Homo-oligomer: A and B are copies of this chain.
Amino acid sequence: MKDIIELLRSRGYKMTPQRRTVIKALFECGKFPTAQDILEYAKTINPDMGLDTIYRNLNLLTEIGVLNIINIKSRDVSVFEVVTNHHHHLICLDCGQMECLDYCPIAGDSEKMAEEKEFKIVGHSLEFYGYCCKCQAS
């Protein structure tokens, strides 16, 4: 969290209470918060916070590379995740719940194949879809 604040400072961005709150929220809202989740948390600290400020800050954090936006099928909102180690996700098609999966099968050979198509690969995303424990029951 301090790293993020430092990075913003070093890039010349100003540190406002709202911005600080958004960053704090990212660490305290639980995993995969939506912009709405962050707004709700933020309002407990500053009731005047607006959703637009949340979005502006989330977008900024994404631009500087410390945040991932995740768009999942079966849910129409974006969820956010602080960038940490490289990993992928399990997503429940029923309830939308997500879990991290420290597994990545992508090796160099895939990039070779891609480069045959004259693409320069810079990353990938991999999501597994299925049904979580609870939703399998029903």
Contact = CB atoms under 8 A, between A and B. Distances in A.
* Residue of A106, A113, A128 with most partner-chain B CB within 10 A: A128
Task: Give the number of copies in the complex.
Answer: 2
A131 B121 CA distance: 7
Interface string A97-138: 001010101110010011001111111111111111100100
B126 A125 contact: yes
A66 interface: no
23 contacts: A69-B73, A71-B73, A90-B114, A90-B117, A90-B119, A90-B121, A99-B117, A99-B119, A101-B113, A101-B114, A105-B106, A105-B107, A105-B110, A118-B136, A119-B128, A119-B131, A122-B129, A122-B131, A123-B130, A124-B128, A124-B129, A125-B125, A126-B126
Interface residues of A, number: 33
